[in-house]
Chains A and B, each alone.
Chain A
Amino acid sequence: MSEENDEKPPGFKRWSGWYWLLMIMLAVQIVIYLFITSSF
């Protein structure tokens, strides 16, 4: 494998906020869908 691929992907820390946002949005959606499923 070339050395370049062994490096840690750049900007991971800077981007982690977006990943958290996406995961939180998924969790929020699942909770909403659970609420809809149990209410209707």
Chain B
Amino acid sequence: MNTIDWIILFSTLLLIVAYGTWKSRGSRNIDGYLLGNKSLPWWSVCLSIMATQASAITFLSTPGQAYDDGMRFLQFYFGLPLAMVILSITAVPIYHRLKVYTAYEYLESRFDLKTRSLAAFFFLMLRGLSVGITIYAPSLILSSMLNWNINLTTIFIGSLVMIYTVSGGTKAVSMTQKYQLTIIMAGMIIAGMTAFYKLPHDITFPEAFQIAGEMGKMNLINLSFDLSDRYNIWSGLIGGLFLFMSYFGADQSQVGRYLGGSSITQSRLGLIFNGLLKVPMQFVILYIGILVFVFYQFNQPPVFHNQSLMTRAAETEYGADLATYEKEYDLVFKRKQAEAENLVAAIREDNPGEIEAAKQSMEVIKGQEKVIREKVKTAISSAIPGANTRDTDYVFITFVMTYLPHGLIGLLLAVVFSAAMASTASELNALASTATVDIYKRSIRPVADAYHYVKASKWFTAGWALFGMAFASIANQAENLIQFVNIIGSLFYGTILGIFLAAFYVKYIKSNAIFFAAIISEVIILYCYFFTKIAFLLYNIIGCLVVVALGIIIQTIQNQGTKKAPQ
């Protein structure tokens, strides 16, 4: 990092914040503050949806995931376009016609107040805790890369977001997200191009594909049906459909984005273009990770990508061991580099025998590298007890900091900060909308003038931002807390989706049946969590199906009870 990087980083972030705050100032009614006066065109809705979903961790982790595991993660997003179509047909027109501020408000007109309040409460629980993690996760990585204090980093991100979300509400969120997403996409593409142009021997684009393919990284589609395998086309289409239906249909941080659309058509187009763009966008981000992988076949990668942790471990009594492992790794790399060059030559000669031979040698070397990396991780764990030795999240950012020219480093850091701010802003805005409209205005203070509710929303936004920052500081002290929050999402999402699916599609189920079905479903999910070993991702589907099934059963029992009553 040099002065140019710092100037680019800070000027990008501060300009976006200042612009968003200035342009969206002065909303004096709740329509303006929480819905942006329903004035957004489709492309603005689309950018806002994409910026909300893509958190900083998406840009830090996804290239690392491709580097480590290949491109199969892409299949996870195949259910998203299907979810966009279903929601465009059902949810969008209903939300628009009922003129709701939040998704949960609809539940009162479909069921009753208690179901609305229950769903709003579940949402505040899961999103309220996760906003802390949205700030904390990138702060951890950035503070380690920039040698900043972690609490200062969380306060920096949290305060910048707080300024414009409190001041301008929804309008400020979508206005800033446009520019943030532009910076993000430009930065990522520049990083990918830099990795490509730094490849030796004038390697062409198809050759980069082929090298990655020979190393087993172009595993885009897996057609085999296997429930234990997280990424295959079926889990992507079916599991992804459920996950994205709940995320886009029942999570206010996304519903709030398309409620701001100026008409049903604009909101639908926003969702549909998100469906068109999301999979190619993930492809590009994953492919950047593949380019970094190919780059490291010809250039020495660090033995452990979280270099700040490595340096700390090297200062302990394990320093000598780590130095030995690094030397071993260097020697192994020299052999790998030679084989990678053989592979390129074989590909150019189109010699299948030579290609296979080079591939086999590289596989053997990969095994040796893995053994050394495991030894390094064990040494780091012994040197710094409790340290997180998973370094895939650091692969991309370490590459950026080491190999990108000055100026671009600042831009790429602005990408990560912008992504963190864009998703945090939507979450804060959604938490404030739900707390104000579904709890405060509905049950605590139903009668007051419009400006009173704008002020209340501002206080709620600031309150959730402070809560998020405080939670991020605690998360720093307790690694288990982060796991807990990730689990909390899975514990409540399925039930919320079940309530909404029943609301949209199972008209037979009425208010009392759905309320008790939701509570029993939540008890069952908690039982699964404490007493079984069912994978967390399945909780979404279990919770959803249990709510709908129980809703039908309870409603049937209730109907029979009412029929018998007059006799």
Given A19-B89, A26-B81, also A40-B212 (CB < 8 A):
yes
Given A11-B93, A11-B265, also A30-B210 (CB < 8 A):
no
Q: Determine the chain A residues whose CB is within 8 A of the CB of B74 once the complex forms.
A: 33
How far, in angstroms, from A34 to B279 measured CA to CA in the complex?
Answer: 14
Say which one of B119-127, B147-155, B218-226 lies at the interface with A: B218-226
Contact of B209 among A2, A23, A30, A40 (CB under 8 A): A40
Q: Determine the chain B residues whose CB is within 8 A of the CB of A18 once the complex forms.
A: 88, 268-269, 272
Is A19 touching B85 in the complex (CB atoms < 8 A)?
A: yes
Given A15-B88, A23-B85, also A36-B218 (CB < 8 A):
yes
Contact of A22 among B84, B90, B97 (CB under 8 A): B84
B563 → chain A closest CB, angstroms: 20
Is A30 touching B78 in the complex (CB atoms < 8 A)?
A: yes
Residue tally, chain A, CB below 8 Å to B: 25
A10 → chain B closest CB, angstroms: 6
Interface residue? B535 (CB, 8 A): no
How far, in angstroms, from A37 to B109 measured CA to CA in the complex?
Answer: 48
Is A29 touching B93 in the complex (CB atoms < 8 A)?
A: no
Is A26 touching B265 in the complex (CB atoms < 8 A)?
A: no
Given A19-B88, A30-B221, also A6-B507 (CB < 8 A):
yes
Residue of A nearest to B218 (CB): A40
Is B110 touching A2 in the complex (CB atoms < 8 A)?
A: yes
How far, in angstroms, from A26 to B98 measured CA to CA in the complex?
Answer: 31
Q: Mark B92-130, 1 if CB is under 8 A from A, else 0.
A: 111001100000000001100000000000000000000
Chain A CB count within 10 A is highest, among B97, B98, B221, for B221
Is B109 touching A5 in the complex (CB atoms < 8 A)?
A: yes
Is B109 touching A2 in the complex (CB atoms < 8 A)?
A: yes
Contact of B93 among A1, A10, A30, A40 (CB under 8 A): A10
Interface residue? B233 (CB, 8 A): yes
Q: Determine the chain A residues whose CB is within 8 A of the CB of B213 once the complex forms.
A: 36, 39-40
Is B85 touching A29 in the complex (CB atoms < 8 A)?
A: no
Residue of A nearest to B280 (CB): A29
Is B81 touching A23 in the complex (CB atoms < 8 A)?
A: yes
Given A9-B93, A10-B93, A40-B209, also A22-B109 (CB < 8 A):
no
Q: Mark B267-288, 1 if CB is under 8 A from A, else 0.
A: 0110010011001100100000
Residue of B nearest to A14 (CB): B265
Q: Determine the chain A residues whose CB is within 8 A of the CB of B97 once the complex forms.
A: 4
Interface residue? B309 (CB, 8 A): no
Is A33 touching B221 in the complex (CB atoms < 8 A)?
A: yes
Q: Determine the chain B residues whose CB is within 8 A of the CB of A12 once the complex forms.
A: 89
B309 → chain A closest CB, angstroms: 34
How far, in angstroms, from A10 to B93 measured CA to CA in the complex?
Answer: 7
Interface residue? B554 (CB, 8 A): no
Contact of B264 among A11, A25, A33, A39 (CB under 8 A): A11
A38 → chain B closest CB, angstroms: 9
How far, in angstroms, from A5 to B85 measured CA to CA in the complex?
Answer: 19
Is B220 touching A37 in the complex (CB atoms < 8 A)?
A: yes
Is A9 touching B94 in the complex (CB atoms < 8 A)?
A: yes
Q: Determine the chain B residues whose CB is within 8 A of the CB of A19 once the complex forms.
A: 85, 88-89, 272
Contact of A5 among B78, B110, B221, B272 (CB under 8 A): B110
Is A37 touching B89 in the complex (CB atoms < 8 A)?
A: no
How far, in angstroms, from A32 to B552 measured CA to CA in the complex?
Answer: 42
Is B276 touching A22 in the complex (CB atoms < 8 A)?
A: yes
Q: Determine the chain A residues whose CB is within 8 A of the CB of B275 once the complex forms.
A: 22, 26
Q: List 9 A-B contacts (CB under 8 A).
A: A5-B94, A5-B109, A11-B264, A15-B88, A22-B81, A26-B82, A37-B218, A40-B209, A40-B218
**Which B residues fall within an 8 A CB radius of A?**
74, 78, 81-82, 84-85, 88-90, 92-94, 97-98, 109-110, 209-210, 212-214, 218-221, 233, 264-265, 268-269, 272, 275-276, 279-280, 283, 507, 510
**Apart from A1-B110, A22-B276, A33-B283, what 17 extra A-B contacts exist at CB < 8 Å?**
A1-B507, A4-B97, A4-B109, A12-B89, A15-B265, A18-B268, A19-B89, A23-B82, A26-B81, A29-B280, A30-B233, A33-B74, A33-B220, A36-B209, A36-B213, A39-B213, A40-B212
Which 9 A-B pairs give the minimum distances between C-beta atoms?
Answer: A40-B213, A9-B93, A33-B220, A40-B218, A37-B220, A26-B81, A19-B85, A37-B221, A34-B221
